[in-house]
Amino acid sequence: MTVQIPRYSRILGTGSYLPPRRITNDDLAQQLARDGIETSDAWIIERTGIRARHFADADVTASDLALPAAQAALQAAGIAASEIDLIIVATSTPDMVFPSTAAILQNKLGIAGCPAFDVQAVCSGFVYALTVADSMIKTGAASKALVIGSEVFSRILDFNDRTTCVLFGDGAGAVVLGASQKPGIVATELHADGRHVDVLCTPGSVAGGHVIGHPLLKMDGPAVFKLAVGVLEKVARSVLEKAGRSASDIDWLIPHQANIRIMEGTARKLKLPVERMIATVAEHGNTSAASIPLALDVAVRDGRIKPGDTLMLEGVGGGFTWGAVLLDF
């Protein structure tokens, strides 16, 4: 009788990258003032917790940001790019309409042959991509996956709207996920509700060589806040129930780094002290699909996250999409 050995996926290494151009709140306030738009460092911090963000130069693409993040994750995992047999890039700001940013990144990594594709779930993108990679590894379709969130949101910001342009930044975060007989990713859950498409969107498109519609980000801030806190608590508790665990088992909560008030509100609802939440939003703003792996990498490299720690990753974004991943690091 053949005994079926369980197959799981575990994070083998993490990496991240921020473009070097750092824009403080004061820098941004001065830029907006030239166009007659008033804001201030104090106003931004009070409402968001953000102190700075990084913007990519005009010729830098999402795959350019993804490359050093991927290389750092590969180095941390101690494996060569040639060992990767799956690449998933979560992005809402791809290099081009097609091919996928993942395929472009694959070429920049100097490898070929493995499946490479993008996932578009906006700020929930990394959680979606990680869930897909976990499923493919568990079924044997892949053994070593490179999962990346990479964004150049500065390209789609309306700098005449201070309620949105102060929130976002550019960056990339990556993990290498590998097959294991020991559980790593314990439980996942994904959701979407298209009834809320208009709450957070970039409704423009390209047709006949022209931009059709509004090509810049639009957001109903109060609606996003209300939806986000509620669904993040619910999905976190659902994932814990699937895993047979409780919120007290979470060593580190790593939420999407959107707004410190949303993040702290989620921690409170889960009855977790804010000291057990990884918050990096102050230094890079909302980097959409890149924000969770960015925060994860920062906390791994500064020693807060250690092998054996239980992590709750959760994101919410336009679509309206949301999801969570519970994992043992």
Residue type, 5: I
What distances in angstroms separate CA 199 from CA 170, 213, 218, one per listed residue? 21, 16, 8
**Sequence-ordered list of residues with C-beta below 8 angstroms from that of 210, at least 6 positions apart, any chain:** none
Answer whether 317's CB lies under 8 Å from 85's CB.
Answer: no
Q: Residue with structure tokens 């004061």?
A: 26
Distance of alpha carbon 237 from alpha carbon 234, whole angstroms: 5
Catalytic residue among 123, 165, 259, 284: 123
Catalytic residue among 54, 165, 256, 284: 256
Distance of alpha carbon 158 from alpha carbon 65, whole angstroms: 22
Question: Alpha carbon 297 to chain centroid distance?
Answer: 12
Q: Give yes or no: 286 in active site.
A: yes
Beta bridge partners of 254: 313
Q: Which residues are catalytic?
A: 123, 256, 286
